[in-house]
């Protein structure tokens, strides 16, 4: 029986691409070298953002809240809260920043993974299309970063906020890694959005574990290459289904 191409790939299929990606990386570990510089740059930028962002909020607290008596306790609580908020904001946007910095190398990683799995890279040979794909990818990554920030702000709304923000942030993350393959194949932005829209549940399944891992320092840095491979696997699955 042929697959029903009118239905998108489901949530659990997207989730299962993550352990599949780990297995693939065991066979082609050399691709990880391409991602070393973007990983280090992302860690450096996040460290600077943490230092200056928390420092700015801490100075505001010291300036406007007295440091004696009960106000001292309030100042300490607000300082702790500021640190938590800055770390949470960086965690929400970590994957998107990484994608933006990786835009010039992720195509090569995704290409090598597809060639390993199928015997051909499937990338366009037209340099004009490649350049256009990189430019679209950069704009797309910046847009996804803004969506990540928006979802972080929505998540601060009591009770309802996290119920909206977590699926939104996870789906946006999943789309960012899924769309890498579409970019190197020369697909337009509208084609990428359409393909992503057809498989929203799978994108959420791919992005949800990354969303959780983003909250864990160091682990998020080491795990992101897995999701580049997972995004390639999911894209190939949708192509095969089509």
pLDDT of residue 26: 85
Band the pLDDT of 132: cuts 50, 70, 90: low
Q: Are 204 and 154 in contact (CB under 8 A)?
A: no
pLDDT of residue 101: 66
User: In the predicted model, is pLDDT for residue 204 greater than 80?
Assistant: yes
Q: Are 53 and 86 in contact (CB under 8 A)?
A: yes
DSSP assignment string, 82-105 = HHHHHHHHHHHHHHHHHHHHTTTT
**Placement of tokens 């009960």 in the chain:** 70
pLDDT of residue 15: 93
pLDDT tens digits, one per residue of 2-39? 444 446 688 999 999 999 999 988 888 877 777 777 77
Q: In terms of Cα–Cα distance, which of 91, 99, 81 is closest to 49?
A: 91
User: In the predicted model, is pLDDT for residue 172 greater than 80?
Assistant: yes
Percent of the chain with pLDDT over 90: 11
pLDDT of residue 152: 77
Kindly give, in sequence order, each residue whose CB lies less than 8 Å from that of residue 170, ignoring residues fewer than 6 positions away. Answer: 204, 207, 208, 210, 211
User: In the predicted model, is pLDDT for residue 223 greater than 90?
Assistant: no
- What tokens does 189 get? 């932005």
pLDDT tens digits, one per residue of 40-97? 777 787 788 888 888 898 888 888 888 777 788 888 888 888 888 887 777 666 666 7
Q: pTM, whole model, 2 decimals?
A: 0.67
Of 9 and 222, the structure prediction assigns the larger pLDDT to 9
Rounded mean pLDDT, 123-131: 61
pLDDT of residue 6: 46
pLDDT of residue 3: 45
Band the pLDDT of 151: cuts 50, 70, 90: confident
Rounded mean pLDDT, 92-110: 67
Rounded mean pLDDT, 123-138: 63
Mean pLDDT over each residue of the chain, to the nearest integer: 79
Band the pLDDT of 102: cuts 50, 70, 90: low
Of 33 and 209, the structure prediction assigns the larger pLDDT to 209
Q: Are 178 and 191 in contact (CB under 8 A)?
A: no
């Amino acid at each position: 029986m042929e697959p029903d191409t009118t239905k998108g790939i489901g949530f659990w299929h997207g989730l299962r691409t993550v352990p599949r990606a780990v297995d693939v990386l065991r066979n082609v570990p050399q691709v990880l070298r391409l991602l070393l510089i973007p990983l280090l740059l992302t860690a450096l930028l996040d460290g600077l953002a943490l230092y200056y962002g928390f420092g700015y909020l801490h100075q505001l607290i010291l300036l406007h809240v007295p440091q004696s008596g009960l106000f001292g306790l309030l100042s300490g609580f607000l300082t702790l809260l500021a640190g938590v908020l800055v770390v949470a904001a960086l965690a929400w946007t970590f994957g998107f920043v990484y994608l933006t910095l990786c835009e010039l190398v992720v195509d090569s990683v995704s290409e090598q993974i597809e060639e390993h799995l199928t015997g051909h890279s499937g990338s366009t040979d037209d340099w004009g299309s490649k350049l256009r794909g990189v430019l679209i990818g950069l704009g797309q990554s910046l847009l996804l970063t803004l969506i990540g920030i928006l979802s972080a702000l929505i998540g601060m709304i009591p009770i309802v906020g996290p119920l909206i923000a977590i699926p939104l942030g996870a789906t946006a993350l999943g789309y960012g890694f899924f769309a890498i393959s579409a970019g190197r194949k020369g697909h337009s932005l509208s084609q990428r959005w359409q393909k992503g829209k057809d498989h929203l549940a799978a994108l959420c399944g791919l992005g949800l574990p990354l969303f959780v891992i983003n909250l864990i320092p160091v682990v998020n840095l080491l795990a992101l290459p897995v999701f580049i491979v997972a995004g390639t696997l999911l894209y190939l699955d949708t192509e095969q289904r089509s």
